[in-house]
Structures are given as structure tokens and as C-alpha cells.
Amino acid sequence: MKLARWCLAQNLFDEARDEVQHVLKLSPTARDAKGMLASIDASKARLTAKPRVDPGLVQTGAEITPTNEGIRVKRNGAGISPVDITTEPFPGFPTDLQAQFMGLMTKAKGKSHITETIFENRFMHVQELARLGAHITLSGQTAIVDGVSKLKGAPVMATDLRASVSLVIAGLAAEGETTVNRIYHLDRGFERLEDKLSGCGAVIERISG
């Protein structure tokens, strides 16, 4: 796929219920969608939505235009610019968007630094993103993300709610098929995210096995 159109909406994405394994299958032909907005910046898509836009998204190079319906977000055609962010209490960059933003930065043109100051052990998604080909190194509270030109689809495992969204974003931006396992984490905060992404043009389906 070219680049996913993603959703980073803070409110849009806002333990296992049984022994059935739930997974999402992603194919990299997505169009663009804060949760959905983070999926667009990873792509060359366009979306009209009504989330609060974090300034960090603008710095990546996304073009954001107010409309009567909300806002329109699209890629500027120049690729994703690396952005350094540090999680802080409101009104700073929210820790709940840290993982999703990291998913976006895996495709940036250069290095970005993501520093987590609110919680410990909130980088569990790094290892799973690496399975898709992301180049990320950890230094204390900071993750250094060296953007790559291509990610490659692979089976990955969600470790928590926010990490699961970052894997969906990266999976949509990857070439080939990505399978996200243990999506009961995702279901704790997002109702039928696959349907919302499908509405943006993503090729994504929920399977059980």
C-alpha cells in the first residue's frame, strides 16, 4: 500500500472476555482518517472529521483546513516530517496518543524523539512495531524513531489499548498483510474500529479463530 489513512483521534480511540482469539487482518491499500487523523498523515489521503487537532500533527506536514463539517486533513505530498514530542499533562501532548504518534513516525523522513514522562513501561509496542520493520531504539524515557521508507506486513500482538491502535496504523502503512492479535485490548476503547477505517477506504477485516 502507499500509506495508510489513519485515525489518531483522542476520543475516537478512546481482558480477554473468553478463550476465542480475536484478530484483525489488514491489507495495505487504505485511504486516509487524531485516531483516524494519525492513519491519514501516514498516507496521501483526505478526510473530513471533527477531532481536536494536536499541533504535532500539523508539524508532520499534514494540511488541515477548517470546513463547515469540521476539518479536512490530507498529506501535503512531501512525505512525513519527523517531529519530537514529549508527553505532558493537559494541555500538553497526551500520553494516550504517544503510541499512535510513534506508529506514524516509523514512516517519517528522518529521526524523531518521543519522550514519555507520564507513565513507566509505555513502550511495549516498540518490539511489535519492529516486527514490521520499524527502526526504534530506547534510551531511558525516550524512544528514538528512525523513519523507514517501507514497512512490511507481519503478525503482531497487541499489548494494551493504545499500542493496539499504533499497530493498526503501522499495519495499514505496511506492504503486504498484517495480522494484529489480541484485539480485545482494542475493543476496550474503540467500538468496531475496523468499520470506521473501512469507511475511510482501508482494507481491513475482523476474523476469529
Fold of the domain built from segment(s) 22-29+82-208: UDP-n-acetylglucosamine1-carboxyvinyl-transferase; Chain (3.65.10)
pLDDT of 209 > 80? The answer is no
Per-residue pLDDT of 41-74, as tens digits, reads 454 444 444 555 667 788 888 888 888 877 777 7
> Residue 44: what pLDDT?
46
Which residue from 207, 203, 208 is spatially nearest to 39, judged by alpha carbons? 203
**How is the chain split into domains, by residue range?**
22-29+82-208
24-38: average pLDDT: 43
> Residue 56: what pLDDT?
79
> Residue 83: what pLDDT?
94
pLDDT of 28 > 90? The answer is no
CB 111 within 8 A of CB 147: yes
- Distance CA(30)–CA(93), nearest Å, equals 27
- Dihedral angle sign, alpha carbons of residues 60, 186, 14, 89: negative
- Average pLDDT over the chain, rounded to whole? 77
> Residue 12: what pLDDT?
28
CA dihedral 111, 63, 56, 185 (to 10 degrees): -90
For residue 102, count other CB atoms closer than 10 A to its CB. 27
109-136: average pLDDT: 96
Q: What is the pTM of this model?
A: 0.77
